[in-house]
Structure 1
Amino acid sequence: MTAKLQPLRPLVCGWLVASLVGITALSFVGSAAAATKQHALVGITDPTITGRTPGLLEAFAPRWRSAGIDIASITADWREIAPEKDAKTPPAGFDGSDPQSPLYNWSELDRVVAVLRANKIEPLLTVTGPGPLWGSSDPEREVVRYRPNPTLFASFAKAVALRYGAEIKRYIVWYEPNAPANLVPQSYCSRGTCSPRSPEIYRNIFNRAAPAIRAADSGAQVYAGALAARGVEPDESDDPVRPVPWLRAFGCLGDGDVADRSSASCDHFEPSATDGLAFHPDQRAMEPNKKLPSTLEAGLADTERLTRLLDTIQAAGGVVNSSDAAAPIDLYYTEFGYQTNPPDVFSGVTLSSQDRWLQEAAKVVYYKPRVKLLGQYLWRDEPVRDQGQGVDAYSGGQSGLYSFDGSAKPAAKHFPMPFWASVSSASRSAALWGQVRPGGAHRVTIQRRIGRRAFRNIAEVQTDGQGYFTAKFAIGTASSFRFSWAPAGSATKRSYSSAVNVSPR
């Protein structure tokens, strides 16, 4: 929303009056439409904390909520929940669609869902494989990732939705289906040429599982994808597939951006009906407004690349919006973060860069209305696992807001109060954006510093219902801006955002 600015009555010095005159000239008025707009929710993905260690999630979930987390990504792991995971055939008489079967083991997922709900955090549930060996279309290969049986997986998905339908309304079908760790084969390769095969396999899985979830859980939203942002030009059948060619094959989109059902992988094609696309927009080590060099991949700054492609596939009949056939398909960024140095000296960015760029990323997403979720990948670093030389010496994720030993990185302090300021080309006004987390209507105080002077209060701003605000200020010289706020009823416990420096251009 555009901020409604309230002059601070106790401060009537000439400098403040001049500043407020500049503010008035920039037309600060409220916008009712903006005030009711639903912006991206704040998410978290940390599989260690939501994993199988008793007491870990119980300790962290209250901290997540106080930091403004709306949604936590969790998984219903077919292989861990199903019985006899290494057998080539399912148990005699086992009904995979029955959540009451005593052969299913729901205990860990029950606990995770209950803890999140008790802390007023919405679970976003990824129903995924790999599954038990008997869930493969060819168990004799003894590869659990090989061509999951769509019918058997749909039975499991139905059981999940029947058991958790009262607690969960958002589901994702499968995790990173364009990565060989979860699904093979990724491609069909012959005579030195490879073509994507996992999109067809996944399409068959999704087209069975999504209707099964919706039938069991009325009103459920089911998202496709959870695609990895990276891939390679495949030389072998198990090489990961880049997301852009993967999506084109998923929707059977041919040259000229028209439907092409001529290939074997598009025989008996049926478009997938989805409520959104889940995606992991990896920026690598670049700030969030920089596009990736490869047009076959997509980071946060490449959101329009993804939405244009989705629109093209949808127009060609390759995918359908299940919620509203006339509406475009929205994006859900479930994993986003920056690997840091320390500890990763090869792939990590500095701690200060992580701090700044996570805040800027939240601002970038705010202005991309089709992005409905931005999920921080890792609250706490995973332990460093040395698996070789160079990059391999820092295996695991170190993109957390906290180090593995619990010490806070700078980003932890500012995650609940992201703030950004910028000046566009040939402009003498600073555009401010910020959010107070958890969301809700708040009154924040904007502060400005010129040179080495102390910060001075210049205006009060009312946020929208999600805690967001925007504002503009005329500037004639280099300035620093920040904001502060205090919980209702507390005049002394004020929190301060990071300070951002800007100069007229």
Structure 2
Amino acid sequence: MPRAAAALAATLVALAVVLAPSASASPSLKVGIFDDGVVLYGEPDLVFPQLAKTGTQLLRVNLWWSGPGISVATRKPKRPGDPKDPAYNWDTYDRTVRFSIVNNIQPIFSIIGTPPWANAAKGWNVAPTNARDLRLFAAAAQKRYSGTFVNADGITLPRVSLWMAWNEPNNPVFLKPQYRRTGKTWAIQSGRDYAKMCNAVVQGVKSIQRSSTVACGATGPRGNNNPNSSRPSVSPLPFLRAMKLGGAKGFDAYAHHPYYGSPAETPSTPPPPGKRGRPPTAVTLGNIDVLIKEIDRLYGKRMRIWVTEYGYQTNPPDRFYGVTYSKQAKYLTQAVSVVRANPRIDVFLWFLLRDEERLGGWQSGLTTFEGRRKSSFNAFRRAVLG
């Protein structure tokens, strides 16, 4: 192994140890960013120095098995557990990992997207027919990013030790179906399907690197719990229970996206009650202890918590859902303070670095689409330092 590559790999291993779950050590919060738009599709020579200026410690990246993102599996591999199989194209992700490490940023890979050959072409957001296919892909990914793999250019790739399984599986945009009728009742099919997917990623990653950390869940903050609606979705607590019932196990952390529900909500504001005064079904940062309590009941108090998406949009340009630049900075600071005060939470990721161009997208960036820094840019940098 080249000396420089060995040093990089050793650095990444050391960082992984810092984040690994431990019963005796107090967890240390790591703060980062999730923005595939600029990271995977932008100019890395420009994007990564800007990420470094924010002080970000972590960078979440969707690793597309297949789908609308940059797919690794361009066709069905003959040796799915072998990262060298010619059906795989890892170029974008190799580049991303290398730029991350050079800029002292630790990547988190979130495996997502089912290839057509793995589920009879039902769509990238439908579970694979056989979870073994996903397990072998996860193993291939961890093998490539084990810290010892040499690519075709003779470069030893850095290690990736932090992983996630999918994204917001309680949302039909990312996983369907959400419900399935059994007789006269409805079952939460997404939770059961996701349990197999979670297990596949855990088993695949840990078959190569036992010490890697894998998070499951990655749940969105709310759901309508109505299988008869035009867009059925499942709120976090019922999804978590269905996931447990489906046999999800072996993961190290539960990931969640505790977004606010309206611009009037601060990071510490609990979501409004449900109909007829019932407890809220949404889980935001203001009531995340409700989720943690249920995780304790189902998985025990050793389970770590990751906040892998969070952010406030700004007005301008979002006049409906946005807050002022000063409030965004204030709420970012408050959110990190809330998370840092919770000893169970190890990861906090802000979404995005840069606003999306289309108004129908998200404008929660630390900069405008044109690149002008918002007040939140410096607020984020201060929050990283604690």
- Pair in the same fold by TM > 0.5: yes
Which of 77, 83, 103 is the equivalent residue of 1:119? 103
In the TM superposition, what are the counterparts of 1:170-209 in structure 2 within 5 Å? 170-189=162-181, 194-209=186-201
Which is greater in Rg?
1
Contact 2:39 2:47 in 1 (8 A): no
Q: 2:27·2:344 contact (CA, 8 Å) conserved in 1?
A: no
Q: Distance in 1 between matches of 2:320 and 2:115?
A: 36
Deviations 1:79-135 (A, max 9, x none): 111023xxxxx36xx111110112211111111111001101000111111x21111
Is 1:163 aligned to residue 155 of structure 2? no
Please give the alpha-carbon distance, in whole angstroms, between the structure 1 residues aligned to 2:195 and 2:33.
27
Contact 1:189–1:237, Cα closer than 8 Å, also in 2: no
More relative contact order, 1 or 2 (CA 8 Å, 6+ apart): 2
Partner of 1:369: 343
Match of 1:274 among 233, 243, 251: 251
Question: Which of the pair is proportionally richer in helix?
Answer: 2
Shift of 1:75: 1.8
Counterparts of 2:368 and 2:41 in 1: how far apart (Å)? Answer: 20
Give the AA of the match of 1:229.
P
Is the counterpart of residue 239 in structure 1 residue 232 in structure 2? yes
Report the alpha carbon displacement of residue 397 of structure 1 after superposing the two structures with TM: 0.8
Out of 200, 204, 207, the residue aligned to residue 212 of structure 1 is 204
Aligned to 1:249: 242
User: Corresponding residue for 1:58?
Assistant: 45
Aligned equivalent of 1:102: 86
Matching residue of 1:82: 73
Secondary structure of the corresponding residue to residue 155 of structure 1: helix
TM-score, normalising length: structure 1: 0.64
Structure 2 residue aligned with 1:400? 365
Query: Deviation of residue 64 (structure 1)?
Result: 2.0
SS state at 1:49 partner:
helix
Report the CA distance shift for 1:250/1:210 in structure 2 as closer, same or farther (over 3 A).
Answer: same
**1:48 and 2:22 aligned:** no
* Amino acid of the structure 2 residue aligned with 1:78: W
Q: Residue 307 of structure 1 aligns to a residue in which SS?
A: helix
2:304 aligned with 1:330:
yes
CA distance in 2, matches of 1:185, 1:117: 38
Aligned residues: 337
Go from structure 1 to structure 2 and tell me whether the alpha carbon gap of 1:181 and 1:346 turns closer, same or farther (over 3 Å shift).
same
1:211-360 matches, within 5 Å, as 211-234=203-226, 235-236=228-229, 239-252=232-245, 266=246, 270-284=247-261, 285=263, 286-294=265-273, 295-314=280-299, 327-360=301-334
Shift of 1:227: 1.0
Q: How big is the shift at 1:193?
A: 5.6
2-side partners of 1:413 and 1:203: how far apart? 39
Identity of aligned residues (%): 29
TM-score when normalising by structure 2:
0.82
Number of the residue aligned with 2:134 = 153
- Contact 1:381-1:399 at 8 Å conserved across structures: yes
**Are 1:185 and 1:238, in contact at CA under 8 Å, matched by a contact in 2?**
no
- In 2, the alpha carbon distance for the partners of 1:126 and 1:379 equals 18
